[in-house]
Structure 1
Amino acid sequence: MTRNYILIIYLLLFQLTNAQSQQYLSKSIDALPTEKIFVHNSNDFLLTGENLYYSIYCLDNLNQLSPYSKIAYIELINNDNQSVLKQSINLIDGSGYGDIFINTDIVTGTYKLAVYTQWMLNKGIVFSKNIFIVNPFSKKLKNSSVENQITANSDTFVNGQNKKGKSFQNNQFIYSKREKVKLNLSEEFSLPDGLYSISVRKKNNFNIPKGNKSLSSVKKEANIYLPELRGSLIQGKVSTNSSSLSVSDIKMSLSSKNLDLPVSAVTNEHGEFFFNIPNLDTKNVSIQIHDDHKDEFEIIVHSKKSIDTNFSYFPQLYLNDSLTKTIKEKNLYSQIENAFFSVKRDSLLSQPDNNLLLDKISKTYLLDDFKRFKTVKETFVEVISGAGFSKTKGKYKLSITNPETYEILKFLSSLVIVDGYLLDNHEDLLNFDARKIKSVSIITDKYFYGNALYQGIAVVETFKKDFSSSLTNRKNIKVTPVQPEKVYFFQDSESLKNQRIPDFRTQLYWDPNIDTSEKEITFFTSDVNGEFEIDLVGYTEQGKFVSLKRTFLVH
């Protein structure tokens, strides 16, 4: 059924041509599965200099994790309904995670965390919740005792007993500083199979207004938002003022310094193009047209603007003695933790390289291993085997030969890629300073790229990856890269190297994707005392929402 729905969505993409088709598509979308989002975040009250961790659950209309959208967006909206921050997150089987560093440019106030997929915007729906941020160096916070203020809480511990009820392993409610805590998932939470995230942090000693999580309405645009089924979607249109030129079947490529092989696209009959980029990890990309008349075409990219919100409820922060004390403590802890950031870094997970192009490389020439020549042409003659420049119709072209298929494929062009950019004019490489080239890789096999067949590929890498500066007729655009997957660092007090490092964490642990097969979670308390809360959230395989909380004391 899921595969059938995806096929229907792809077929509908071809209807994006005129107003009549838009009306038809809008009706068709109403019949397709919808999506909604729930977000579990580590804290609703933060200071600048702290991290907000979050886990995203994207659900379909059956409350199952959605197989459709592969990208979600998260924005921080201020009380003027302006977006101050935007991130893009990979969704794998309906879930994703990331973190936001609250930098000192963000002023004190109440914000909305707005999260959505492009597909959700067709319904004008986003997930939203209140986030309270204090910039300790801001004077915006007010002194007041009026209604709706954030007020102090009393401890929930009385004579060593936890009013919340259930105990941890060995009936232990109270832990010492830097002590190891073990949570048995099956005994403590009785978790059925599903997907869960967990946060362990110091509990706020003040009340934050409840009931702020919701699916909120935003302004619906006239345009149809396409689902991002295969990664980040970049779309646009090619136009021309020439009546003799067609905008149909124009070859295009999208390049960046992080892409080994440019992503290809071909325009439809209306000049529209669509690039799908898995794991988009750069802020800057370039789009090129590969056509003899490329100077007569214009590339128009449909930018992904921030959502048009009209949130009206932003409960105010008011300063009282309890909150002032908390802010001072948290600010001190945060400054100490940030001072030791270099030894408390999160680890980035390496992404699998799905680029089949690299598997086809016949040989790579590191030019510093050979005698250096003044020109690129000499370098190919003296060093590179099976590739060389030849002059045809007054222009030089690079040709790659394969003795086994030469007679059959000798009339095909070869692809030339330099620093991730596709070259139409091979003389751009011929005239480049050969001393700036680091390596040349040769692929002698035939290769399908876009809708054309090529005989071989030359992949050239410069030392500074600055070849793109010599290219013309390209459209440079800013995009929102997806957040990298991480393993979050949380201090291990049993490690000898950590014993002399200050530990003033108020966020003791965060795991956006619990492995329930492990059965046990371990973490360490820090040098901060007080009441801490374990907050576990997620969905069972049957789509049932789970939210469990436990508290313990550190002294």
Structure 2
Amino acid sequence: MKKITIILVFLLNSVCILAQSTDKPVDLESIPNEKIYMHTNSTMLLVGEYLYFNVYCLNAKTNQPSEISKTAYVELISSEGERVIRQVIDLKDGIGSSDYFIQTSVGSGNYKLIAHTSWMQNNKYHRIFEQDVFIINPYTSAQAKVRKDSVVGKVNNHEFDKTSTGISLNHSSFGKREEVIVDLGNYGIKKGNYSISVRKIGDIPSPSINTTKEFLEKYTDYEYSYRSRTETKLPDLRGKLISGRIIPKTSGIPLNNQQLTLSVPGADYFLKTAATDRKGRFYFSVDESFIEEDAFIQVFGKNRDKYDFEFNETEFEDIKELSFADYGITAAMKQEIIDRSVHNQIENAYFSLKPDTIKTTLPDNLFEGVERVEYVLDDYRRFKTIQETFVEIIPYGRIRKNQGDYEISVLGYEPKMDFEGMPLLVVDGLPVQEVDDFVRNYDSRKIEKISIIRSKYYLGSMFYKGVILVETLNKEFTESYRYDYLEDFKISSGVSEKNYFKQDYSLKSSPNVPDFRTQLLWDPNIQFKGNKDKFNFYTSDVSGNFQIIIQGFQNDGKPVSITKTFEVK
């Protein structure tokens, strides 16, 4: 398997390089196609609730996790064509999960939750996964779109598979704050990837949840045909692919081999380089997790202010092709909506006592492990100007004028221990080209630390005689550093994994904290061993009928859809 993966990655890299450097059609028939299944915790939500979802990116033929895309895109689209949310999901072995808190700005109506990869967009027959979602906003009087005299439809999947045989619970019904033990021992589930939702069933009709079995039945005969053989969308092989092109502001400006940097400044900054092809196109692979953070891209060199940037979008383009369901509410549902809204408000008020936790991963620092000399400026007498600071504190750095402009240089190592050559200046993770402006105008008292890398350094194809790393006290440099050639945009390149809150009353904790959870359990990555599997959760202070839904795929690609209902009195 490892050899196959290595060969596949090599093949895809070769294809991507070819696609970037030529306009000729590329034969991609031998590369596996993809399809996506997405398990959601519910298809009917109120404002103030969480929409949870787990993405399964599969090999289109084997139904096993895809080895191609490392990123999936999820969008919630209203029936009017408005994109309510758009998230970038990191895929690990073809699996990724996230959530979205339904805010009060979201109106009542019918929505479509879709998911796709960039690679899937090449297929004109099947490019997205679709799930109908019905949302109610009880905090607004604008309900005309969903008010109906009567409604017809399934009620929160009461009819979904009835109850799967072979699984059992420790009781036939349960009291409040009682442990529920689910035994899958007789079902015969095998090792694979699975997600679980346990949620209260209401009396408001809602769209059916797409099950794994229904999904594979629909796409048993998987067709594949390219929408355009000359504009193939490249797969996200190592994370999200940020691509676009530079556009010259005047004629005669070269497009090819222009050096670019992409940086996300901050305490743990992200910095990468790329070069344009002969048509000015560029590609950055971002394998770190960023959610709506400030990013900056710039061209390096004397022509840096002579280009504009145009980015390629990875969002679903054909919203008009979507067909929306038509679910609604009647006056008879008023009390259920009120009760559920009250429960949500109480739960949100006590969220700090029941938090989800993020599995944090820090970006790889480009200069990590490189030998340097560090100067924490609070250890010395403070000076206002950059020039004074270098003269008095930084022996391995030097500032001097060249034809009226200030330059910074770095003292190298033996045998050529001199200040010749230009170093790279990086402030809070942002490469700075306007060295003279930085020396003249930046207040040195805002700087926390200056580090000097004295060895030669290559940033992409750009060579530097050393590196000067500046860290400000509040990491606020980009708030004041603005030039027209510095293109800023919001970057979203994958959400951070979460450990979702799971109530445990066996610990005898928080007896006085209200518990009005209607979502008793959400686990997007539960592990089954295939032999006498069990899992547990606790009921809340909410009574009524609840439903357990397990979706996923065995390692051999076989779909698994399990459901079980129970009552809390």
Query: TM over 0.5: same fold?
Result: yes
Could you say which residue in structure 2 is the equivalent of 1:415? 424
Aligned 1:107-256 pairs, distance under 5 A: 107-124=107-124, 125-138=127-140, 139-140=143-144, 141-145=146-150, 148-149=152-153, 166=166, 168=168, 171-185=170-184, 187=185, 189-210=187-208, 223-240=231-248, 244-256=252-264
| CA shift in 2, pair 1:444/1:154, >3 Å | closer
Could you say which residue in structure 2 is the equivalent of 1:470? 481
Of residues 275, 300, 306, the one that matches 1:266 is 275
Deviations 1:169-204 (A, max 9, x none): 5x422222112233345x264431111111111123
**Does structure 2 conserve the Cα–Cα contact (< 8 Å) formed by 1:152 and 1:323?**
no
| CA shift in 2, pair 1:423/1:209, >3 Å | closer
Secondary structure of the structure 2 residue equivalent to 1:5: helix
- C-alpha separation between the residues in 2 aligned to 1:474 and 1:398? 21
| CA shift in 2, pair 1:242/1:207, >3 Å | closer
Could you say which residue in structure 2 is the equivalent of 1:159? none
| CA shift in 2, pair 1:8/1:225, >3 Å | same
Could you say which residue in structure 2 is the equivalent of 1:529? 543
**Shift in Å, 1:356:** 4.9
| Worse-matched range after superposition: 510-519 or 333-342 | 510-519
**Shift in Å, 1:254:** 0.9
Residue 143 of structure 1 aligns to which amino acid in structure 2?
A: K
Secondary structure of the structure 2 residue equivalent to 1:398: strand
**Shift in Å, 1:39:** 0.4
| CA shift in 2, pair 1:188/1:351, >3 Å | farther
**Does structure 1 conserve the Cα–Cα contact (< 8 Å) formed by 2:409 and 2:420?**
no
Aligned 1:386-535 pairs, distance under 5 A: 386-404=396-414, 406-407=416-417, 411-431=420-440, 432-468=442-478, 469-472=480-483, 473-516=485-528, 519-535=533-549
**Shift in Å, 1:282:** 4.4
**Does structure 2 conserve the Cα–Cα contact (< 8 Å) formed by 1:253 and 1:264?**
yes
**Shift in Å, 1:285:** 1.3
- C-alpha separation between the residues in 2 aligned to 1:143 and 1:319? 6
Residue 128 of structure 2 aligns to which amino acid in structure 1?
A: V
Deviations 1:396-419 (A, max 9, x none): 322233434544x86443211002
Structure 2 residue 75 is the aligned partner of structure 1 residue 70: no
**Does structure 1 conserve the Cα–Cα contact (< 8 Å) formed by 2:118 and 2:314?**
no
**Does structure 2 conserve the Cα–Cα contact (< 8 Å) formed by 1:252 and 1:288?**
yes
How much identity, in percent, do the aligned residues show?
A: 33
**Shift in Å, 1:219:** 12
**Shift in Å, 1:17:** 6.6
| Worse-matched range after superposition: 284-293 or 207-216 | 207-216
| Alignment gaps of 5+ in structure 2 | none
**Shift in Å, 1:66:** 0.7
Secondary structure of the structure 1 residue equivalent to 2:384: coil
Could you say which residue in structure 2 is the equivalent of 1:60? 59
Secondary structure of the structure 2 residue equivalent to 1:192: coil
Residue 132 of structure 1 aligns to which amino acid in structure 2?
A: F
**Does structure 2 conserve the Cα–Cα contact (< 8 Å) formed by 1:177 and 1:554?**
yes
Secondary structure of the structure 1 residue equivalent to 2:180: strand
**Shift in Å, 1:280:** 3.9
Secondary structure of the structure 1 residue equivalent to 2:257: coil
Deviations 1:510-540 (A, max 9, x none): 1111133595433211101112111111111
| Alignment gaps of 5+ in structure 1 | 157-161
Secondary structure of the structure 1 residue equivalent to 2:434: coil
Secondary structure of the structure 1 residue equivalent to 2:97: strand
**Does structure 1 conserve the Cα–Cα contact (< 8 Å) formed by 2:115 and 2:130?**
yes
Could you say which residue in structure 1 is the equivalent of 2:13? 10
Secondary structure of the structure 2 residue equivalent to 1:489: coil
Secondary structure of the structure 2 residue equivalent to 1:294: coil
- C-alpha separation between the residues in 1 aligned to 2:498 and 2:303? 45
Secondary structure of the structure 2 residue equivalent to 1:333: helix
Q: How many residues align?
A: 542
- C-alpha separation between the residues in 2 aligned to 1:69 and 1:442? 38
- C-alpha separation between the residues in 1 aligned to 2:373 and 2:264? 23
- C-alpha separation between the residues in 2 aligned to 1:263 and 1:192? 42
**Does structure 2 conserve the Cα–Cα contact (< 8 Å) formed by 1:90 and 1:96?**
yes
**Shift in Å, 1:243:** 5.0
Secondary structure of the structure 2 residue equivalent to 1:178: coil
Residue 100 of structure 1 aligns to which amino acid in structure 2?
A: Y
**Shift in Å, 1:149:** 4.3
Secondary structure of the structure 2 residue equivalent to 1:510: strand
| Worse-matched range after superposition: 528-537 or 87-96 | 528-537
Residue 196 of structure 1 aligns to which amino acid in structure 2?
A: Y
Structure 2 residue 310 is the aligned partner of structure 1 residue 300: yes
**Does structure 2 conserve the Cα–Cα contact (< 8 Å) formed by 1:47 and 1:134?**
yes
